[in-house]
Amino acid sequence: MRVLVVTKIFPSAAEPLSAPFNRQQFAALAERCQIVDVLATIPYYPGAGLLGRWSSAGRLTEVPAREVIDGLPVRHPRTLFIPRAGHGTWGPLYVASLLPYVPGYRGRVDVVLASWAYPDGFAGVVLARLLGVPAVVKLHGSDVNHNARLPGPRRQLAWALPRAARVVAVSRALADEVAALGVARERVAVVMNGVDGERFRPADRAAARAALGLPATGAIALYVGNLKEAKGVLDLAAAFEPVAARRADAHLVVVGGGDARPALEAVAARLPGRLHLVGPKPQAEVPTYLAACDVLALASWAEGTPNVVLEALAAGRRVVATAVGGVPDLLPDPALGELVPARDPAAFAAALERALATPYDPAAVAARGARGGWAASAAALHQVLDDAVAGR
C-alpha cells in the first residue's frame, strides 16, 4: 500500500519535539507499507520571517523543504494563511497551497491519510478526490472538541468528513463526537495510540530524582505537555498552591513550553523551590521524569487520548486527570488514578493531595494500565487504510 500523509502536526528541524505520537505511529506504519510519504505542512504568510520572535509561523521559516525523520521521507510545503482573517479561510487556502504537489503524486499513492481535522482533514478529502483515491481522516481531540466547533471549520468539515472513506478517532468519546458532523458511525474506527514499552516502564524513583537533581524525599507531581491555558496548566498551578501550603514536602515539576509560562513563573515566585519549570525536554528524557514523580497530573479542558497518560501508566505511575475525552477510558480502575471535573481547581487540589498521600505498587499500575505498543497501533491503522482502499 502507498500512503500519502497530510498533516500540520509533525516534527521538523525547528520543532523536533512536536507530535511524537504521529512520528512513532507513521514510522511503524511504514514497516507495513510500500510507501509512506509525509507532507508535513508549515504555515506561512508574507513577512512571517520578520516576526519570528513573536510568531510560530515566523519561527518555522527556516525549516528545510525536505527531511528524513525516523526513516520517513518528509516534505514541508508552505501553506498560506491570513492571520486574524478568520478560520474559515484556512481550509481553502491550505488546499490551494497543496495543489502544486498533486501532479507528482497522481498514480503513485493508494490512499490519502489526513491527520488533524482542520484544515488537514478538509484538504485531505479534496486532494484524495483530485488523485482519484480514498481519503482517511485521523482525529485527535482538540481538533474536534474545539476547532471543529468554530462556524467556518464546522461547515467545511460537515462537507468533508462524510465524504471520507473512513474516519479514525483515538477514543470512543471522540468517535461519538464525529457522528454530530454527519459521519455514519459504521465508518468511524477507534484506533488507540500506542506506547513505547521499552522506554516507558517502571524504574527506580530515587535514582531518577538524583539524576534530575530533584528532592530525594517528599511527594512530586508531574505535568508533561504544552503550556497552554486549555491544557489546564493554570488550573493545575492554582490547585497545587493549597496543596503546597498544607504539605511542606510537596513539589510540582512542569515539563514543556508555551504561552502560559509567564503566568506559571508568577506562581513559582510565590512558591520558591516548590514549583519547578524545567522547559521542554526530548521524549527520551520523559521516562526519567516519570520515574521521579509520584503522580502525573493532567488538568486539560479537552483531550482525545493523551499519550502522556498512557506513558505514565506504562511507567507505573498513577494519574490525576480531568474526566474529558478519552481519559476516562484510560483510568477505569481507582488503582490507576482519579478523575475530576475540568476547570475545577479545588476538586483537582483535593484529588492531587489524596494521590500524593496514597502509597501504591508501580508494577501493579503498569500491569493494570498496560496498552499495546506502536506496532499494534500501526497495525490497526493499516487495517483501516486497507479497508478504505478495498472499498470495504
The CATH fold of domain 2-194+373-390 = Rossmann fold (3.40.50)
Give the per-residue pLDDT at 150: 85
Q: What is the longest distance spanned by two Cα atoms in the chain?
A: 65
pLDDT, one tens digit per residue, over 63-89 is 999 999 999 999 999 999 887 666 788
pLDDT, one tens digit per residue, over 290-336 is 999 999 999 999 888 899 999 999 999 999 999 998 899 999 999 99
Give the per-residue pLDDT at 31: 98
Give the per-residue pLDDT at 84: 67
- 111-115 vs 66-69, strand pairing mode: unpaired
pLDDT, one tens digit per residue, over 85-115 is 667 889 999 999 999 999 999 999 999 999 9
The C-alpha atoms of residue 266 and residue 271 are separated, in whole angstroms, by: 9
Q: Which of 145, 193, 138 is nearest to 166 (CA)?
A: 138
Q: Which residues of the chain have pLDDT under 70?
A: 47-58, 84-86
Q: At what angle do helices 151-160 and 122-131 cross, to 10 degrees?
A: 30
Task: Domain 205-368: give its CATH code.
Answer: 3.40.50.2000
Answer whether the bond into residue 119 is a cis peptide, omega within 30°: yes
Please list the helix, strand and coil fractions of the chain in percent, rounded to the nearest 5, in that order: 45, 20, 35
Residue intervals of the chain classified under CATH 3.40.50.2000 are 2-194+373-390, 205-368
Give the per-residue pLDDT at 310: 96
Reading the block at residue 367, the C-alpha cell is 500491569
Identity at 278, one-letter amino acid code: V
Q: Which of 19, 116, 12, 31 is nearest to 74 (CA)?
A: 12
The C-alpha atoms of residue 96 and residue 113 are separated, in whole angstroms, by: 18
Cβ atoms of residues 364 and 372 within 8 Å = no
Residue ranges of alpha helices (H) inside the chain are: 20-30, 56-59, 90-98, 102-105, 122-131, 142-145, 151-160, 172-179, 205-212, 233-246, 261-270, 286-292, 307-314, 327-330, 345-356, 362-368, 374-390
Residue bearing cell 511504514: 30
